[in-house]
Chain A
């Protein structure tokens, strides 16, 4: 398939690159990995198959073969030729048809999965794009007009649709190692106030701003240590940064909390200027919620496999 026009940020992502953090090479991968998995399950792929992740703006693609595809994650206004198509549905396109993604109506990151997957050579065992260092995915960069992606197999699957997870701005977190370093008032403010997503946020980190800044009981200057997606760092000015998929492998700012794995996708889908709120939960609940997400993916997989 060929990209005809791209004003959206679109990159190839799978569920991420593991095992190279000792070289400073981070995870990358889908911002909302639950939506990526939902798409792959619906289209009968392995859950880790790479997809095109699209955020903000438009993307026009011409299919060069018959392809079954689906769109998951953020709801996009999308057209196959002139016909409006829904997200979370398996759709069939014929060669020479055009898919036009106009704009996201809700959420930030959409996944275009194709049955059989794209023919992408893994780099360091993953097809995810590291745009900072310029490797992986499609030439290590965001897609642009005239790029051609090869789809591994031509396909035509029965048309079915599935339910999506209900988006929420209430993000559940667990305490992290420096939680106790914050004043009691700040621990309370962390959970009670609204945190607005700043426009200088990106795939590396979500910068938040709240009415009152978070304060340390005493100054904390930490050594750099391993960090991961979902961890919430608090620089001295007191406005938190949530590390996202392109987050660095190590960091030195104290961490107040970590977004639970089940809610990383919900966090990723929050839009610039919109607010989220944090709720502390225990480790046991965090793991339980993760199991519920796995169950959701399994249900899609079973339904898709039967049809």
Chain B
């Protein structure tokens, strides 16, 4: 499958790697981001789940097409980057009021609540990127048996600390916000703190395990 950059606004170009999501493709995203960040027209690069999103300064149409061309040429010789990150454990209250979607999700997946929690806590996840809101880690490594679509209508309020699943991804909401992910539980761990040198608890390349504090039906 051929991949190409797509213009999404006057100042945004996006690249989507074909499914399935893999760590190898993410390593290519990390490497490409390092190169693209240095281009003079680029303000910032947002790494997504096997995707890249490039934000430029205000450009003319010709300049924008030139950036698109320069970005496309990078795809001919795709680099890769490995990050040796730290390992973090995040304790979670699963189910009940902490994870309002756990019971329904277990039911739809034909698994017991304990099975879902076991599958979710067994895996070692890799932080693919931080996005959505300050400190929100997008994690790769979710067991395929737990892949689950987002809600058709996103909730207007997801509580801070909520741990959820969106498609083939899992992650933690550091702050209260609207959101469409399936909520399994909640953690008390702070994921964003401006008083620290590195405000985000996690960074791309870190590894993470969830541990169950308790499970509520």
Closest to B46 in A: A226
Q: Which of B14, B64, B152, B176 contacts A235 (CB 8 A)?
A: B152
Closest to A200 in B: B156
CB pair A258–B9 under 8 Å, yes or no, is yes
Q: Which of B21, B43, B134 contacts A24 (CB 8 A)?
A: B134
Q: Does B150 contact A (CB under 8 A)?
A: yes
Least CB distance from B51 to A in Å reads 4
Interface residues of B in 146-161 (CB under 8 A from A): 149-154, 156
CB pair A23–B64 under 8 Å, yes or no, is no
Q: Most A CB atoms within 10 A — which of B7, B10, B51, B152?
A: B10
CB pair A235–B180 under 8 Å, yes or no, is yes
Across-interface contacts of B166 in A (CB, < 8 A): 224, 252
Q: For the complex, give the distance between the alpha carbons of A205 and B153 in Å.
A: 14
Q: Which of B6, B49, B58 contacts A224 (CB 8 A)?
A: B49
CB pair A249–B152 under 8 Å, yes or no, is no
CB pair B138–A250 under 8 Å, yes or no, is yes
Interface string of A117-142 (1 = CB under 8 A from B): 00000010000001011010000000
CB pair A226–B9 under 8 Å, yes or no, is no
CB pair B152–A237 under 8 Å, yes or no, is yes
Q: Does B8 contact A (CB under 8 A)?
A: yes
Across-interface contacts of B85 in A (CB, < 8 A): none
CB pair A204–B178 under 8 Å, yes or no, is yes
| Number of residues of chain B lying within 8 A (CB) of chain A | 59
Q: Which of A224, A235, A236, A290 contacts B132 (CB 8 A)?
A: A224
A-B interface pairs (CB < 8 A), number: 164
Across-interface contacts of A111 in B (CB, < 8 A): none
Least CB distance from B58 to A in Å reads 7
CB pair B55–A228 under 8 Å, yes or no, is yes
Q: Does B130 contact A (CB under 8 A)?
A: yes
CB pair A23–B130 under 8 Å, yes or no, is yes
Closest to A176 in B: B8
CB pair B136–A24 under 8 Å, yes or no, is yes
Interface residues of B in 126-172 (CB under 8 A from A): 129-136, 138, 149-154, 156, 166-169
Across-interface contacts of A21 in B (CB, < 8 A): 44, 46, 55, 131
CB pair B130–A24 under 8 Å, yes or no, is yes
Interface string of B7-26 (1 = CB under 8 A from A): 11111101010010100000
Q: For the complex, give the distance between the alpha carbons of A228 and B48 in Å.
A: 13
Across-interface contacts of B43 in A (CB, < 8 A): 18-19
Q: Most A CB atoms within 10 A — which of B55, B132, B192?
A: B132
Across-interface contacts of B135 in A (CB, < 8 A): 23-24
Q: Does B199 contact A (CB under 8 A)?
A: yes
CB pair A226–B51 under 8 Å, yes or no, is yes
Q: For the complex, give the distance between the alpha carbons of A260 and B7 in Å.
A: 13
Q: For the complex, give the distance between the alpha carbons of A25 and B131 in Å.
A: 7
Q: Does A248 contact B (CB under 8 A)?
A: yes
Least CB distance from A60 to B in Å reads 29
Q: Does A251 contact B (CB under 8 A)?
A: yes
Q: Which residues of B contact A (CB under 8 A)?
A: 6-12, 14, 16, 19, 21, 43-53, 55, 58-61, 64, 129-136, 138, 149-154, 156, 166-169, 174-178, 180, 192, 194, 199-200, 204
22 residue pairs of the A-B complex, CB under 8 angstroms, read A19-B44, A21-B44, A21-B46, A24-B132, A24-B200, A132-B176, A133-B174, A176-B9, A177-B8, A177-B16, A223-B16, A223-B167, A225-B49, A226-B51, A226-B52, A235-B152, A236-B149, A237-B153, A250-B48, A250-B53, A252-B166, A252-B167
